[in-house]
Amino acid sequence: MKFSKTSIWVIAALSLLSLGSVLVLHLAGFRFFTIATPSMGETAPVGTLIVTQPQQSYNKDDIITFYRSGSVYTHRLTKINDDHSYTTKGDLNAVADSLSVANRDVIGKAVVIAPVWGWVWRAAPILLIGWIIVYLLSCIKRLRERWRWPVRIIGGTLVVILATLILNPWLRADMLSIATHQQNDVRLHIVNTGIFPIRDDDGNRVHTGQTAIVRATETDAQGHYIYVPRPSLGPTGVVFALLWCLLPLFIALLVKLPPPEEEITGLQLVHERNRNMMLLAIIILFEVVLLTVQLSSLAGFTATIQNSTNRVQARAYFKCSEATWIRSQIRPNPQPYFAWALNSDHAANPIVTDLSGNGNHGKPSPSDGSPSRASVSNTGCVRDDRRVSVFNGVNACLTHGTSAEQKVNPAPNTFSLEVWFSTNYRSNGRLMGFSSLYEGDYNGGGQSDRHIYIDKDGRVVFGVYNGGIKLVASKAGVDYADGRWHHVVATMSPSGATLYLDGNRVDTNTSMTAGENVPNGGYWKVGCGKLTYWKNADDSEYQGPKYFKGSMQYSSVYTTALTEQQARDHYLAGAL
């Protein structure tokens, strides 16, 4: 192996500089970690290099690395507790970590978050050790001088291939959850944990740290479903892959072969050997330091645990949009008749887009106004868009159908209503309900039925009229007009009516099997509707307004009755 003196000194200087930098940073309290599991999502995907530094104090939303049970974890600080411990959570996890973190267990705050570079950091020891072995093999005396560089190039290439096989960084995906399935058809919730983007079933590109729903239909000999990630490189990725594969060729073209052996003197061989041994010693020293400071950071996930008494399970959905959008469902879930996120800019476009794929959009009727959009820090669906619709209690209302011709006929007797809401006002207007008229049914004419509203005591009421008013309501003494976000689901079917609040069943009425007969059909409305002659939960006359005043998010109507488990899964999709 023939190096010039300049090359030797340059390589030696760079190696010593790298070695010194790592040691200085380590002594200054900096620590280097690689992310090994996907709980931090896109913020710090698998293969991210994390550099931490101790802090005097830590703040909410800091990404911190800490010890727990002999392992190292990197999560986001979400709360500083009264005892000065910290509550942490992975960005991709549905719930916070079950155990708090004491200040003494915190290694430091992440001051550098470098995606992909963690793979390089992890590969460095393998590559250096492999290069040393290949170099030593190439120095065997029996090997002719002119064959040593080809051996080194081929051996170095094999070392890179070995590192790739060990780490598998390019194309990979981890499964987060699995749906119950029909035969030969299962949906998987996956996260991309490789460097290259992959494609989901709709052809969308899923980058590292991002999640997707994919379908697996093939099984192996043992009956296990098989999913193979499909690359979506794009022009840049293709160019990178080609250059990476051609790298050994470029090195071979740049290498200057040594002169014939008869032209090399004994003194030259001694100097050459000494320089090479010095370079090899520096690289070995750097390798030892690298292995000493290199650590991996893990993450905590929930898993399913069952015995004869208890059952613990990870959440079925990570976001409200996954629970209401048919393309993103994880386990069997009725397709909504419509699903509105209620986060659009109503001033720019009054039409509310239906997320169910059925095209059942909504808009204000000619006599109503649009709600306003607000960006808030506190929402019902905490992992979805932070924008919500604000209903002013005066004229804001959304009606299913972009014209009077798009009505529901006949009025359904099997359905579910669902919405997230927040309000400070009791005796509030109607959250959701069915009306016979496209507009103008708030005072005199028109029929108004099958609706959810908040009564004089802040109780949530779901009512229908069938020979008389029939209700299901939340418990007395619990005020839901408390300014907090709540999730409500009301269902009706031949089995009766059920009301769910914040994932819990609060009331059931088996006599509520049908609503008022509306001969010509009507329209679902969100935020308004006639409530004249209706009752509070305690059977007194309701005296509230026609329009709801407060904020709403993710409103849906289903043509089936959601089960108790489905109602709870939908609530957990948004709750912390």
The domain spanning residue 535 has which CATH number? 2.60.120.200
Lowest mean pLDDT among 65-79, 88-102, 133-147: 133-147
Q: What is the pLDDT of residue 25?
A: 75
The pLDDT assigned to 485 comes to 95
Q: Find tokens 């570079």 and name the residue.
A: 117
Average pLDDT over residues 283-306: 48
* Rounded-to-integer distance, Cα 164 and Cα 80, Å: 41
State the pLDDT at residue 328. Answer: 46
Least confident interval from 112-116, 238-242, 274-278, 570-574: 274-278
Residues 6+ apart with CB under 8 A from 174: 37, 38, 46, 190, 191, 193
DSSP letters along 262-319, please?
Answer: GG--HHHHHHHHHHHHHHHHHHHHHHHHHHHHEEEEB------EE-SS-EE---S-SS
The three-point CA angle 211-217-221 to 5° equals 115
Decide if pLDDT at 247 tops 80: no
**Residues 529 and 448 sit within 8 Å (Cβ to Cβ):** yes
Q: Residue 253 pLDDT more than 70?
A: no
Q: What is the mean pLDDT of residues 390-417?
A: 92
Name the more confident of 423 and 254.
423
**pLDDT, greater one: 345 or 261:** 345
- Mean predicted lDDT score pLDDT of the chain: 81
- Residue 507 covered by a domain: yes
In a domain, 511, yes or no: yes
Give the whole-angstrom CA distance, residue 576 versus residue 559. 28
Query: Considering only 209-218, 414-423, 452-461, 462-471, which range has the smallest mean pLDDT?
Result: 209-218
Q: What's the rounded mean pLDDT across residues 37-49? A: 91
Residue 383 within a domain: yes
pLDDT in tens, 562-575: 999 889 889 988 88
CA gap 339, 352 in Å, rounded: 10
Question: Do the Cβ atoms of 111 and 24 come closer than 8 Å?
Answer: no
- Look up residue 431 and give its amino acid: L
pLDDT of residue 560: 93
Percent of the chain with pLDDT over 90: 36
515-548 tens-digit pLDDT:
999 988 999 999 998 888 899 999 999 988 889 9
Q: What does the pLDDT read at residue 390? A: 96
- Please say if the pLDDT value at position 309 is more than 80: no
- Whether pLDDT at 185 is above 80: no
How confident is the model at residue 489, as a pLDDT?
A: 97
Q: Which residue has better confidence, 329 or 442?
A: 442
Name residues whose C-beta falls within 8 Å of residue 572's C-beta, 6 or more positions apart in sequence: 94, 315, 316, 317, 503
Say if 121 falls within a structural domain. Answer: no
Q: Is the pLDDT of residue 386 over 90?
A: no
pLDDT at 360: 92
Query: How many structural domains compose the chain?
Result: 1
Name the band, by pLDDT with cuts 50, 70 and 90, for residue 298: low
pLDDT tens digits for range 460-519: 999 999 999 999 999 999 999 999 999 999 999 999 999 999 999 999 999 999 999 998
Residue 3 has pLDDT above 50, yes or no: no
- Quick check: is 464 in a domain? yes
User: SS3 for 117?
Assistant: helix
Range of the domain at 428: 336-402+414-574
Q: Which letter, b or e, does each residue of 180-201 get, where b requires 16 or more Cβ atoms within 10 Å of its Cβ?
A: ebeeeebbbbbbbbbbbbbebe
The end-to-end CA distance of the chain, in Å, is: 61
% of the chain residues with pLDDT over 70? 79
Average pLDDT over residues 152-167: 81
Is residue 9 predicted with pLDDT exceeding 80?
A: no
- pLDDT score, position 561: 94
Asked if residue 201 has pLDDT above 80, the reply is: yes
Written as one letter, the residue type at 143 is L
Global pTM value:
0.52
Instruction: Tell whether 326 is covered by a domain.
Output: no
> pLDDT confidence of 215, banded at 50, 70, 90?
confident
pLDDT for residue 305: 43
Question: Each residue of 80-122: pLDDT tens digit?
Answer: 988 888 999 988 887 788 778 888 899 999 999 999 998 888 8
pLDDT reading at 308 higher than 90:
no
Note the pLDDT of residue 290.
47
In a domain, 349, yes or no: yes
Q: Looking at the domain assignment, is residue 434 inside a domain?
A: yes
Structure confidence at residue 392 (pLDDT): 94
Residue type (1 letter), 372: S
